[in-house]
């Protein structure tokens, strides 16, 4: 199967760059509900002309609808869905479960592609997408080739056939799992789940282990992965049956789109040309052409690596020396003299190219500029580079500094020439059949491979030919003249009977009219099926779905839920009044002891009715193929119930009591209702992306009894496959050879303002970075109680037993009405030595006070 090459497009120039360089499809965002809100993006009014342009060129167009949608936005989202379907878009790339349901309510066949923001890492995730009615799944970037093979093997057994899979093949790598990064939300109210990532992973951090800074030299960008370049593993991805290869980059330039698209187009074509070659023909289709490697590095590169495709290698994934674009490595400065440097060049360099001198401190201003002269030194391997007078502060350039080529104007001009203007450069093959005999018209049938067929007959009959009959070669010569059109002639079949002839002018007319008719057919918008709900009064579908929700009984007394992450936090939480415990331990082996101790506490306190107390445990947030043993270990503790954090948990704990954790990203009633009624969850935790206004809207549109609300926590920021413990406290590549430093050291990451962010590792060796400052929603609790909310989570990370007891006690008093939220806020500010913030609840709420 030939996979689709999918390119990004942030604007019209990028669209043309992708199309003219061989993209099979593009993906683009509209001005709302997409994960790249900083891109230029298109508007709903652009859709008809954009889709017509793409379809004329044989290219598919996918709209990114890949953010969470809040309850008070569903009516607007419904309008978006209607517009997208009506415009003949080829698919929507969706994150939100509720939006998937909304699309299916309107159309049974409009394609849904489940975004990588849905954090699908396993066959159970693929099956979840299938249940939602999806036609394609974009896997998490963290899936290896081995993972993909296992997912494909399990999914192939589905009665409904295997689900097409898409993977990112090139571009910037997020260090955190897409859909599970709350860093921007935690630090500034700019949610990555809302397209507003602030890229905190590209900033420098210090590593603090057991209270001491770990000396790492110039390695400070501890969370900044090298860029993904899957070109080396393209043959393996093709053999794995991947349906779509996705290039990252809707914030990148048109030159970037042109470059990466054409490099991967050429590589894919080479693979399939080699496969079609006669048996025994030699081909090195897996090798990366040096000029292609140069172009990939030059266009945009923080260093290129195969990401997780070949498994986890924590020593290679993050080199930690810089977090910004570098380009092509030229060598080290050997000598500085007379406003010039001498370098032993490892890559080509010419006058006009831009370079930067890397002093190992990329967070400071770096010296660099355009090279004016490149002069090879006689009898030496060194080359002297000279620059414009005053361009470089030579006091800041020293021998040993690395030199990078950051810009190649000649390459930029070459790339722009591939898409500038209206000239058609990339043509797609069409097939033609020719029929006829003397005395009858010549009939031509043309097919574009996309289901469009045109048949035309000549106005003049064919005549018997005494000389120069219409051989296949002569037909090909005339019909292949398709310059200036989106087409090139592929296969030509001639079924002419006898030696016949037709005037060349008539043959040319037929060719022109065939092309015009074929273009007209392709330009028509896709006609998707509309359901009865779609013909209802606009904006009525959301209320119709809400009307189907059963009325819940009135809520009772408030329930305080203590979320603990250390075994020693259990007893102080209980002693302070918490009767519901959620446990998330790094090592699930400790769950059995925790459950046993909880049972003892229940028996020691007969005044606390056992039926009103319970302990719930959480398996790791991510599941990947082969980790079933972790789930079995978690269940073996015989807790009262389990926190559902991903799609495998839905299946594995199907027969158990279960509640949904925040990682399910429930932000609207349609998502909540689906998890509760389709999968039997008792409750779900409201998304941490919700500020108070949005949380209020959710509780007004769905039964409050459906939700756990988190009112105190250290926000879990980065959740990542990248293991900081392994990468910087060992020489190992992964858990098999790292020596488990996570078991021996308490580690934090210190950011640029001195905050030390706690770091935890789970049983799958995935790391979570937590905000060091506790955030509280104490001042909003009174209103939440008025709205009917009754289940409130108070979360801990590394707090001591005394801190846990004091905090639980204060929140228990708040929920009983003994103290006010303002009182608790003031007390927390005094007692919390790491500081406290109101957090995301007040962000984007203009009537509330500024964060402190």
Write out pLDDT tens, residues 497-507.
999 999 999 99
Phi-psi region of 801 (alpha: psi -120 to 50; beta: other; left: phi over 0): alpha
Q: What value does the mean pLDDT of the chain take?
A: 91
Is the pLDDT assigned to residue 333 strictly greater than 70?
A: yes
Q: Are residues 218 and 236 in the same domain?
A: no
What percent of the chain shows pLDDT beyond 70? 92
From the CA atom positions of the chain, what is the Rg in Å?
Answer: 31
- Give the mean model confidence (pLDDT) for residues 257-266: 97
Q: Which residues contact 658 (CB under 8 A, 6 or more apart)?
A: 641, 642, 643, 644, 649, 650, 679, 680, 681, 682
Q: Which helix (H) or strand (E) holds 642?
A: strand 641-644
Residue 644 tokens read as 């559902």
**For residue 356, is it within any domain?**
yes
Q: Are residues 649 and 505 in the same domain?
A: no
Q: How many residues are given for the chain? A: 852
Confidence (pLDDT) at 552: 55
- Give the mean model confidence (pLDDT) for residues 624-649: 97
Please tell me whether residue 208 adopts helix, strand or coil conformation. Answer: strand
CB atoms within 10 A of CB 494: 16
Match 């289940």 to its residue by tokens.
791
- Give the mean model confidence (pLDDT) for residues 717-727: 95
Residue 553 tokens read as 């009984």
Q: What CATH number does the domain containing 70 carry?
A: 3.20.20.70
Segment among 40-54, 430-444, 715-729 with least mean pLDDT: 40-54
**For residue 186, is it within any domain?**
yes
Residues 654, 644: Cα–Cα separation, whole Å: 10
Q: Are residues 463 and 566 in the same domain?
A: no
Confidence (pLDDT) at 730: 96
* Closest alpha carbon to 65 in 105, 106, 28, 90: 28
Predicted confidence band of residue 538 (pLDDT cuts 50, 70, 90): low
Confidence (pLDDT) at 184: 78
* Closest alpha carbon to 504 in 543, 465, 559: 465
Phi-psi region of 740 (alpha: psi -120 to 50; beta: other; left: phi over 0): left
Cα angle: 322, vertex 324, 327; to 5 degrees: 95
Confidence (pLDDT) at 844: 42
**For residue 538, is it within any domain?**
no
Q: Indicate the DSSP class of residue 30.
A: B
**For residue 546, is it within any domain?**
no
**For residue 50, is it within any domain?**
yes
Tell me the per-residue pLDDT of 570-603, one tens digit each, with 9 for 90 and over: 999 999 999 999 999 999 999 999 999 999 999 9
**CB distance 172 to 199 below 8 Å:** no
Please tell me whether residue 821 adopts helix, strand or coil conformation. Answer: helix
First to last CA, the chain: 56
Which phi and psi angles does 632 have, rounded to 5°?
A: -65, -40
CB atoms within 10 A of CB 45: 11
Helices (H), 38-144: 47-56, 74-86, 97-106, 123-132
**For residue 138, is it within any domain?**
yes
Q: Are residues 234 and 299 in the same domain?
A: yes
Is the pLDDT assigned to residue 746 strictly greater than 90?
A: yes
**For residue 528, is it within any domain?**
no
Predicted confidence band of residue 283 (pLDDT cuts 50, 70, 90): very low
Residue 649 tokens read as 């948990």
Domain count, the chain: 5
Tell me the per-residue pLDDT of 198-249, one tens digit each, with 9 for 90 and over: 788 999 999 999 999 999 999 999 999 999 999 999 999 999 999 999 999 8
Is the pLDDT assigned to residue 568 strictly greater than 70?
A: yes
Q: Which helix (H) or strand (E) holds 437?
A: strand 428-437
Residues 226, 304: Cα–Cα separation, whole Å: 6
Distances (CA, A) of 443 to 25, 450, 458, 538: 32, 21, 6, 48
Q: What is the domain range of residue 242?
A: 4-172+226-305
Is the pLDDT assigned to residue 168 strictly greater than 60?
A: yes
Q: Are residues 125 and 45 in the same domain?
A: yes
Residues 591, 638: Cα–Cα separation, whole Å: 9
Q: Are residues 450 and 460 in the same domain?
A: yes
Confidence (pLDDT) at 847: 34
Residue 729 tokens read as 């406290």
Side-chain-side CA neighbours of 850 within 13 Å: the count stands at 1
* Closest alpha carbon to 171 in 329, 327, 307: 307
Predicted confidence band of residue 177 (pLDDT cuts 50, 70, 90): very high
- Give the mean model confidence (pLDDT) for residues 422-449: 96
Predicted confidence band of residue 543 (pLDDT cuts 50, 70, 90): low
Residues 121, 774: Cα–Cα separation, whole Å: 31
Please report the beta strands in 222-278, taking only residues with DSSP state E, as ranges in sequence order: 227-229, 244-247
Segment among 129-143, 246-260, 391-405, 553-567 with least mean pLDDT: 553-567
Q: Are residues 261 and 117 in the same domain?
A: yes
Cα angle: 562, vertex 566, 569; to 5 degrees: 50
Confidence (pLDDT) at 120: 98
Tell me the per-residue pLDDT of 511-523, one tens digit each, with 9 for 90 and over: 999 999 999 999 9
- Give the mean model confidence (pLDDT) for residues 311-324: 93
Q: Are residues 506 and 651 in the same domain?
A: no
Segment among 47-51, 103-107, 540-544, 581-585 with least mean pLDDT: 540-544
* Closest alpha carbon to 298 in 245, 347, 370: 347
**CB distance 596 to 617 below 8 Å:** no
Is the pLDDT assigned to residue 607 strictly greater than 80?
A: no
Q: Are residues 784 and 827 in the same domain?
A: yes
Tell me the per-residue pLDDT of 41-75, one tens digit each, with 9 for 90 and over: 788 899 999 999 999 999 999 999 989 999 999 99
Confidence (pLDDT) at 551: 52
Q: Are residues 220 and 231 in the same domain?
A: no
Residues 625, 648: Cα–Cα separation, whole Å: 10
Angle between helices 290-299 and 254-276 (to 10 degrees): 160
Residue 791 tokens read as 């289940």
Q: Which residue, of 416, 444, 474, is where some domain finishes? A: 416
Q: Are residues 232 and 85 in the same domain?
A: yes
Predicted confidence band of residue 544 (pLDDT cuts 50, 70, 90): low
**For residue 407, is it within any domain?**
yes
Match 């009044």 to its residue by tokens.
577
DSSP percent split of the chain into helix, strand, coil, nearest 5: 35, 25, 40
Tell me the per-residue pLDDT of 466-500, one tens digit each, with 9 for 90 and over: 899 999 999 999 999 999 999 999 999 999 999 99
Confidence (pLDDT) at 165: 98
Is the pLDDT assigned to residue 834 strictly greater than 90?
A: no
Segment among 267-271, 362-366, 428-432, 810-814 with least mean pLDDT: 362-366
Q: Are residues 638 and 674 in the same domain?
A: yes
């Amino acid at each position: 199967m030939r996979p689709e090459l999918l390119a990004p497009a942030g604007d019209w120039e990028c669209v043309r760059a992708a199309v003219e360089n061989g993209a099979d499809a593009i993906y683009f965002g509209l001005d709302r509900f997409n994960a790249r809100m900083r891109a230029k993006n298109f508007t709903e009014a652009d859709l008809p002309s954009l889709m017509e342009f793409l379809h004329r060129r044989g290219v598919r167009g996918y709209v990114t609808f890949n953010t969470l949608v809040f309850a008070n936005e569903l009516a607007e989202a419904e309008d978006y869905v209607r517009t997208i379907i009506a415009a003949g878009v080829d698919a929507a790339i969706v994150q939100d479960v509720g939006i998937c349901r909304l699309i299916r309510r309107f159309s049974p066949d409009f394609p849904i592609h489940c975004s990588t923001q849905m954090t699908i890492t396993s066959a159970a995730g693929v099956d979840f997408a299938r249940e939602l009615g999806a036609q394609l799944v974009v896997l998490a970037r963290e899936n290896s080739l081995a993972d993909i093979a296992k997912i494909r093997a399990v999914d192939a057994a589905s009665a409904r056939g295997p689900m097409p899979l898409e993977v990112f093949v090139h571009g910037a790598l997020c260090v955190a799992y897409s859909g599970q990064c709350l860093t921007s939300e935690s630090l500034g109210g700019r949610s990555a789940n809302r397209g507003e990532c602030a890229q905190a992973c590209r900033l420098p951090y210090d590593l603090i282990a057991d209270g001491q800074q770990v000396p790492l030299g110039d390695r400070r960008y501890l969370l900044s992965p090298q860029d993904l370049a899957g070109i080396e593993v393209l043959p393996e991805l093709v053999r794995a049956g991947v349906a779509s290869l996705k290039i990252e980059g809707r914030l990148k330039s048109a030159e970037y789109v042109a470059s990466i698209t054409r490099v991967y187009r050429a590589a894919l074509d080479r693979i399939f040309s080699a496969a079609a070659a006669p048996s025994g023909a030699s081909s090195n289709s897996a090798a990366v052409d040096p000029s292609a490697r140069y172009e990939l590095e030059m266009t945009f590169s923080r260093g290129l690596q195969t990401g997780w495709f070949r498994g986890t290698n924590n020593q290679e994934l993050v080199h930690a020396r810089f977090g910004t674009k570098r380009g092509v490595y030229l060598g080290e400065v050997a000598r500085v003299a007379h406003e010039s440097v001498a370098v032993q060049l490892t890559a080509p360099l010419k006058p006009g190219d831009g370079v930067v001198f890397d002093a190992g401190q990329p967070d400071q201003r770096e010296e660099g500029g355009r090279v004016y002269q490149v002069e090879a030194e006689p009898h030496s391997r060194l080359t002297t580079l000279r620059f414009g007078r005053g361009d470089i502060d030579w006091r800041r350039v020293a021998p040993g500094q690395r030199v990078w080529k950051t810009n190649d104007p000649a390459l930029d001009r070459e790339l722009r020439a591939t898409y500038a203007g209206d000239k058609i450069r990339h043509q797609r093959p069409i097939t033609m059949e020719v029929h006829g005999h003397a005395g009858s018209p010549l009939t031509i049938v043309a097919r574009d491979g996309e289901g469009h067929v045109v048949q035309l007959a000549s106005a003049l009959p064919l005549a018997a030919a005494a000389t120069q009959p219409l051989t296949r070669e002569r037909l090909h010569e005339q019909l292949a003249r398709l310059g200036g059109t989106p087409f090139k002639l592929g296969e030509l079949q001639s079924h002419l009977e006898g030696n016949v002839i037709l005037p060349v002018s008539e043959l040319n007319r037929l060719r022109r009219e065939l092309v015009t008719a074929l273009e007209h057919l392709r330009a028509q918008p896709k006609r998707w099926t509309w359901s009865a709900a779609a013909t209802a009064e606009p904006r009525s579908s959301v209320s119709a779905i809400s009307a189907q929700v059963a009325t819940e009984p009135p809520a009772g007394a408030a329930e305080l839920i203590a979320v603990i992450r250390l075994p020693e936090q259990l007893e102080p939480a209980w002693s302070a009044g918490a009767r519901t415990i959620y446990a998330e331990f790094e090592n699930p082996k400790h769950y059995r002891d925790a459950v046993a101790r909880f049972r003892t506490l229940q028996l020691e306190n007969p005044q606390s009715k056992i039926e009103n107390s319970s302990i719930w445990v959480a398996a790791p947030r991510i599941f990947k193929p082969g980790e079933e043993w972790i789930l079995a270990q978690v269940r073996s503790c015989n807790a009262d119930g389990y926190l559902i954090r991903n799609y495998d948990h839905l299946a594995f704990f199907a027969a158990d009591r279960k509640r949904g954790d925040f990682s399910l990203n429930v932000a609207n009633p349609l998502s909540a209702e689906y998890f509760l009624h389709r999968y039997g969850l008792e409750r779900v935790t409201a998304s941490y992306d919700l500020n108070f206004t949005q949380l209020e809207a959710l509780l007004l549109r769905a039964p409050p009894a459906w939700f756990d609300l988190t009112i105190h926590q250290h926000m879990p920021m980065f959740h990542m496959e990248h293991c900081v413990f392994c990468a910087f406290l060992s020489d190992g590549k992964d858990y098999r050879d790292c020596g488990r430093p996570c078991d021996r050291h308490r580690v934090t990451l210190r950011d640029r303002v001195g905050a030390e962010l706690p770091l935890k590792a789970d049983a799958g060796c995935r790391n979570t970075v937590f905000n060091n400052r506790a955030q509280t929603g104490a001042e909003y609790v009174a209103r939440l109680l008025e709205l009917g909310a009754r289940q409130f989570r108070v979360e801990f990370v590394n707090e001591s037993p005394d801190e846990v007891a004091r905090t639980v006690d204060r929140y228990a008093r708040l929920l009983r009405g003994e103290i006010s939220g303002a009182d608790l806020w003031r007390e927390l500010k005094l007692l919390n030595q790491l500081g406290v913030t109101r957090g995301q609840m007040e962000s984007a709420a203009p009537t509330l006070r500024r964060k402190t």
